[in-house]
Chain A
Amino acid sequence: MTSSKSGVRQWVSKTWEQFTTVPMLGWLLGALVAAILENLVGNTFARLVGMSKAPVLFGFDIALKTPLLIPSAICYVLVIYLLPVFIVARALRDPLNKLAAALLKYPIVVSAIVHLGVLYAALHIWSSLNDYRALVVKLILIAVILTLSLNVVNGYMGEFSCSHPGFMALGAYTASVLSVLFFVDGSVFGDALLPPAIGPFIFPLILILGGAVAALGAILVAVPSFRTRGDYLAIISLAFMFIVKSLIENLEIVGGPRGFRGQPDWANLPTVFAWTVISVWIINNFVRSTMGKALCAVRDGELAASSMTVNTSKTKMIAFLFGAFWAGVAGGLFAHVLRYVNPSTFGVQKLAEVLAMVYFGGLNSVVGSIFGAVGFTLLSEALRALELYKWIIIPVLLILVMIYRPTGLIAFREFDVSAMLQPKHKKEKEVDDAAASS
């Protein structure tokens, strides 16, 4: 028995070894091929294994609604997703390693753009199969921005901020009002002030303005709370969140508690994807910059950092406004994705969600935040079929994560893009090992 078990284990580890040298490009291409395959034969195959159509989200919804279809859902995931990914990854391993190495001869941006292009293509094709998938992908991308921006404050700065829903609301409402005011003929603000055709080109500016308003709001929180270290940021930011929510509820011109609708349909998948990539890139550079290092120093010991010539109050202020800015941008995107905002969206529930994503993924880590946002959103969408019980399972999971990994699953890890894009040659590694041992 034991020998067969170890045999299986040996086989698994041996097979896995085949894949350890697959470069990032290989996995992405595999995902692309899987997405194309699903587009071509997904529905046919789903009917073949007894489902009415291709499962929306990796079969979770089907498996939870009708447990009898669990084998078909597993079969579908295996054949349509996993098998193509692994086959493509293994088959194209060597040429792609060469390609990745060749790409790295140019500036790293070139390689990054190629990788992102493949990733986008895979996402686009995967999400084109139905609207729900497209919405989930957009919400995940926005959640990534939001989580990263909160991680700058709660992780890198080491304070506990509760005001992110408030910043998001500021950004969402500013962007919505601007785009409706200038580019929509309609009910609320009368005729459009500018021709709607140029709207999509002004959209980035609108989002940036939304972020700027959120950052202005952040000054209101930061000025009173940074004078003393301690939990005052938590309280003041919490009060700020409620103030923003209540303020919007009382502004009749933006619909009050009924919400504000009619945002133009500009936040399509490429736009949201581009904004997410830009935000990840900028935030990653920020936390790896001198400013980011200074921020970590302030977190670990404000007095020590200050004696090492770090201007602590300026550092904290910049980081806080930076985080708020991106939360505002995320809010603007969020409003344009749903094309409807409601002040009650930006309440305690949202706060719990954002905090959960940050602490689930991991503090002080861009990878962790991306993982947390993607994982948490996918999990909460996958368990949607459980309705009420979803809100018991997710908290229990999060409590377990907190107990066993108090700083989150992937905490304190740098997001090294160039290491990720490297070709993974086995030979080089062996050579390195040999050099290290001698």
Chain B
Amino acid sequence: MAFFLQNLINALQWGSFYALIALGYSMVYSVLMLFNFAHGDIFMTGSYIGFFVASGLIALSATGTVAMPGWLILLLTILISMFLTSFVGIAVERIGYRPLRGAPRASAAITGLMIGIILETGNLALLGASRKKFPDLIETQTFTFAGVSVTNTKIMIVAVSLALMLALHLFIQRTKWGMAVRAMAYDFFVVPLMGVSINTIAVLTFAIGSALAAAAGILFGVAYPILDPYMGILFGWKAFVAAILGGRGSVLGAALAGFLLGFIEIFVAIIFPSTVRDLIAYSIILLILTFRPHGFFGEAYSAQLRL
């Protein structure tokens, strides 16, 4: 039981990265019906931005002008990086997606893919091939309840990601902007006629998705402090699959599917050798999609796609 609970907590942590990234895919997909293939690399960029912001804040704190405790630096890092990374998302939208609004959908997928490659290579060219180590911001403490050991970073990661998901949920459901996003997801031909600009909403979804990816990137850096330019590829593609598994444009579905993917991966790695993790995870996803082709929460739609 303790063993199970232990892995459950690991899976919650692992799944929250997927869930946060999957939300970004899902947001963009719900509004524009396009895949943002650069999203995994936005996650990577967010993580690097977080690294620089954190390093800067630590340096600032060390000079003594404004002494800050570790948790405050972490909080500020998350907020500032989310803000900065949202501009990366906006840039991706402006360069890769807006000029292709009337074009076949696959073309926008290609531009997204190419922007992702540019972000990876640009990072490699600017910062060199050496990996960066994310600074330690909070001291790791381990609590033990009934044989289950929990570190405070794990609790923090799960709590922050759940809080962000809740905030997104409230934003989508309770605010006027959220209503515009939902309406656009419902029908992006008619809603622009009601005076809601698709360009504004598209920018908004890209910005929110990128901010969430940045948060995921920083949380990832806290948990696994080694950053490298290609870290976004693996996470990005898996989270993309999770977003689809959750159902088209469903925030709740994407979050749940992200956690599910985390659970599958952690528990597969316990039972089987870890090399077959991807094999089994993707096979399970394939099975689920075979029987529930619209994902968990996606409604069936028969819109004529502009491919």
Contacts and interface: CB of A to CB of B under 8 A. Distances in A.
B129 to A, nearest CB: 9
Interface stretch (B1-9, B47-55, B95-103, B193-201): B95-103
A355 B112 CA distance: 12
Interface stretch (A67-75, A137-145, A399-407, A426-434): A399-407
Nearest to A395: B114
Residue of A240, A299, A402 with most partner-chain B CB within 10 A: A402
A246 interface: yes
B149 interface: no
A376 to B, nearest CB: 12
Contacts of B96: 399
Contacts of A228: 293-294, 300
A399 B293 contact: no
Contact of A246 (B108, B241, B276): B276
B302 to A, nearest CB: 8
B114 A399 contact: yes
A352 B37 CA distance: 11
B187 interface: no
B307 A239 contact: no
B115 interface: yes
Interface in B228-251: 233, 237, 240-241, 244
Given A352-B117, A395-B114, A396-B118, A250 B104 contact: no
Interface string A151-183: 000100011100000000000000000000000
Nearest to B280: A246
A100 to B, nearest CB: 38
Contacts of B294: 228
Contacts of A235: 240-241, 244, 289
B305 interface: yes
A246 B278 contact: yes
A407 B114 contact: no
Interface in B96-130: 96, 99-100, 102-111, 113-115, 117-118, 120-122, 124-125
A228 B102 CA distance: 24
Contacts of A236: 286, 289
Contacts, number: 128
Interface in B262-307: 275-279, 282-283, 285-286, 289-290, 293-294, 300-302, 304-305, 307
A246 B102 CA distance: 37
A229 interface: yes
A230 B118 contact: no
B130 to A, nearest CB: 14
Interface in B104-162: 104-111, 113-115, 117-118, 120-122, 124-125
B301 A230 contact: yes
B35 interface: yes
Contact of A242 (B104, B125, B278, B290): B278
B282 A239 contact: yes
Interface stretch (A50-58, A102-110, A385-393): A385-393
Contact of B237 (A229, A348, A363): A348
Contacts of A245: 278
Interface residues of B, number: 49
For the residues of B in contact with A, the DSSP-based class is helix
A402 B100 contact: yes
A236 B276 CA distance: 18
Contact of A160 (B106, B283, B302): B106
Nearest to A240: B286
Contacts of A154: 106
Contact of A402 (B103, B117, B125, B240): B103
B282 A392 contact: no
B220 to A, nearest CB: 19
Residue of A230, A247, A398, A403 with most partner-chain B CB within 10 A: A230
A250 B276 contact: yes
For the residues of A in contact with B, the DSSP-based class is helix
A355 B113 contact: yes
A314 interface: no
A74 B164 CA distance: 58
A243 interface: yes
Contacts of A257: 275
A257 B285 CA distance: 23
A340 interface: no
A32 to B, nearest CB: 36
B128 to A, nearest CB: 10
A231 interface: yes
Contacts of B240: 235, 238
A406 B307 contact: no
A240 B241 CA distance: 11
A252 B95 CA distance: 44
B125 A389 contact: yes
Interface string A189-233: 000000000000000000000000000000000011101111110
Contact of A229 (B106, B110, B283, B305): B305
A310 to B, nearest CB: 17
A352 B293 CA distance: 25
Given A238-B237, A246-B276, A402-B103, A355 B110 contact: yes
A224 B282 contact: no
Contacts of B277: 246
A234 interface: yes
A249 B109 CA distance: 28
Interface string A300-325: 01000000000000000000000000
A407 B105 CA distance: 10
A359 B107 contact: yes
B110 A359 contact: yes
A433 to B, nearest CB: 36
Contacts of A402: 100, 103, 107-108, 110-111, 114
Given A388-B125, A392-B118, A407-B107, A232 B275 contact: no
A398 B233 CA distance: 20
Given A229-B305, A348-B237, A399-B111, A406 B104 contact: yes
A160 B103 CA distance: 14
Nearest to B243: A235
Contacts of B118: 391-392, 395-396
B285 A250 contact: no
Interface in B172-187: none
13 contacts: A224-B290, A228-B294, A230-B305, A239-B241, A243-B279, A245-B278, A246-B282, A250-B275, A299-B307, A388-B125, A399-B115, A406-B100, A406-B107
Given A395-B117, A402-B107, 14 more contacts: A224-B290, A228-B293, A232-B244, A239-B285, A239-B286, A243-B279, A243-B282, A246-B278, A246-B279, A359-B106, A388-B125, A395-B114, A402-B110, A406-B104
* Cβ-closest 3 pairs across A and B: A406-B103, A395-B114, A246-B279
